[in-house]
Amino acid sequence: MKDKILLLLKKTDGYISGELISQQLGISRSAVWKHIQKLRYDGYPIKSFTNKGYHLNSDTDLLNEAEILFGLSTKWLGKHVIYQNETTSTNNLARQHSTMPHGSLFVADDQTAGKGRLGRTWASTPSCGIWMSILLKPDISMQSISQLTLVAGLSVCKALREYCNIDAQIKWPNDIVVDDKKICGILTEMSAEIERLNYVICGIGVNVNHKIFDPTIADKATSVFLKNNRLTPRAKLIQAILKHMEGFYTSYITGGFVSIKDEYSASCATVGKQVRIIKDNEETIAFAESISDSGELVVSIDGVQTTVYSGEVSVHGLLGYV
């Protein structure tokens, strides 16, 4: 009932009287009042005015299952959601629920042990970012799994551009950057037996409403807030990411990476630059030429063309992070 009242408040542009809510939902006015109190307790800023009724301030950043599902326009992605206020890592949470359907979504307000790639950590300030993981069960080869990171990266990049109006770019393979600083990182993990893929977990971390960062990452991290100087509702940005991801994922599954390659390449900040390729603490200077049909970075080193696979290397600009 609480969710139905919330829905009515969200649909109302202005005020809705307690009487109208009680008529529409067939409950008493005191029951309406009790549910409104519960919603307020959950954090919804609902104002009540004599002779006018209730008003919900829609300009808030509340994150919970109902907020993520309300207005979600996907067909299958994110239709099953598990939301927790706190977890170690949403990738771990997804692993614990790996029997859930393809496309299930796991979101937390806070991660106490957020993971980056290659054993690195991911700073997950509570109530500021999107810390989420998507459980996928694709019928693809194990060699292709790293391409899912590219699919996710392109989806986040497009959502940041369209929903937040931010000039986001992809730093191959798994970072989204704005003004040469990292706004999003992606960690793709999988479970497989010999030659059989069980599932893939695509973990996405987006810095959204951070006003400051820990000094250890302040020089290379940025957020949507720092770019736009206003609060962004994380649930709405999640919906935008999921919408794009459903589209790119479907193209990818039917047509392969090549079907999204041009759009990926057009958004990729790495291509056309001198880069440092770091592998096992060794650094090689190369020129990033293009993205291959299967998503690898094509580089030339001393005039010799070669291909770099994601997962095994870190790639940075000559002078900075990108």
Residues that bind ligand BT5 (CB under 6 A): 89-91, 111, 114-118, 120, 122-123, 131-133, 174-175, 182, 185-187, 203-205, 207, 217, 220-221
By beta-carbon proximity to ligand BT5, the closer residue of 32 and 174 is 174
- Position of tokens 């496309």? 103
41-56 burial, b at 16+ Cβ within 10 Å, e below that, comes to eeebeeeeeeeebbbb
Looking at the Cβ atoms of 111 and 169, the one nearer to ligand BT5 is 111
Spell out a b/e string for 88-116, using b for 16 or more CB atoms within 10 Å of the CB, else e.
ebbbbbbbeeeebeebbbbbbbbbeebbe
C-alpha span between 184 and 131 (Å, rounded)? 10
Q: What's the closest the beta carbon of residue 7 comes to ligand BT5, in angstroms?
A: 28
Smallest separation (angstroms) from ligand BT5 to the CB of 86: 13
Give the span between the Cα atoms of 136 and 104, in whole angstroms. 8
Q: Give the shortest CB-117-to-ligand BT5 separation in angstroms.
A: 3
Contacts of 40 (CB under 8 A, 6+ apart): 46
CB of 211 to ligand BT5, least distance (A): 13
CB nearer to ligand BT5: pick between 16 and 277:
277
Which residue is closest to ligand BT5 by CB? 185
For the CB of residue 313, give the shortest distance to ligand BT5 in the complex, in Å.
11
Q: Which is nearer to ligand BT5, 132 or 308 (CB)?
A: 132
CA separation for the pair 247, 84 (Å, rounded): 27
Q: Which is nearer to ligand BT5, 64 or 223 (CB)?
A: 223
